[in-house]
Amino acid sequence: MRDINQLPDLELALIQTELAWQDPEANRTHFQALLEQARGADLIVLPEMFSTGFCMDSVALAEPENGPTSMWLSEQAKRIDAVVTGSLIIQAADGSYRNRLLWARPDGSVAHYDKRHLFRMAGEHRHYAAGDKQLLLALKGWQIRPLICYDLRFPLWSRDPHGTDLLLYTANWPAARRQHWNRLLPARAIENLCYVAAVNRIGEDGKGHPYSGDTQVLDFQGEALLNAGAAAGVFRVTLRASELAAYRERFPAYLDADDFAIT
């Protein structure tokens, strides 16, 4: 049994920005400058499909598993000495196209999570294959579970059977459904008794859809530690494991959680 009281603080840097439409090289250059401002963080989070914007042109835009953006992400993690994460369009080894989150560590190793819930209202399910596995990661002893955008709407997939300390969402969540984003994120924090960090983009995409941002970090009671609103920038937050442990001890609702299995 872990004693999370003994975990060090976790420093997050969340990058909220506009994205160049379908232009990976421009986005890599843009983020490289922003990553300099994130130095000193343990974990740096970029938006969903950070190299292209939220695109359905999977065949034209997909990179191989060790393509230029994947390699770039690993280089940045090493250069900044932090985990850097965000999703991009990948053609997997089996030939399928994936909305894949990469978790690039400073030591050069990379883990990945493939988005499970594909946004059918934009036809994502016709252009990408869904993932079927959750990913639980350790960073400084913290247990972190990354998810992608539309996954937020599905509480069973977000529900915690793992003792997750930080639930992480990377997104391109449109302004038209901003209210849903701002209501669902606190719910996920409260029901899972964990911190939640969520990174969104701003600006308009190539199809004219606006994004309102609202990148945020919430504590285990759904209280905001950060809300970036519509501002562009690098936003930093310190998470304290001792406060999470104390709340779970005072209010151990997880002891009465229902057993379930995901198939």
Residues acting as catalytic residues: 48, 115, 149
Q: Compute the Cα dihedral for 91, 69, 178, 158 and give only its sign.
A: positive
Q: How buried is residue 253: exposed, middle or buried, by Cβ count under 10 Å (0-12/13-18/19+)?
A: exposed
Spatial separation of the C-alpha atoms in residues 81 and 76, rounded to whole Å: 8
Spatial separation of the C-alpha atoms in residues 236 and 201, rounded to whole Å: 16
Contact at 8 Å (CB) between 103 and 110?
yes
Contact at 8 Å (CB) between 61 and 23?
no
The residue among 184, 199, 186 whose CA lies nearest residue 237 is 199
Spatial separation of the C-alpha atoms in residues 236 and 212, rounded to whole Å: 19
The residue among 50, 47, 7 whose CA lies nearest residue 27 is 50
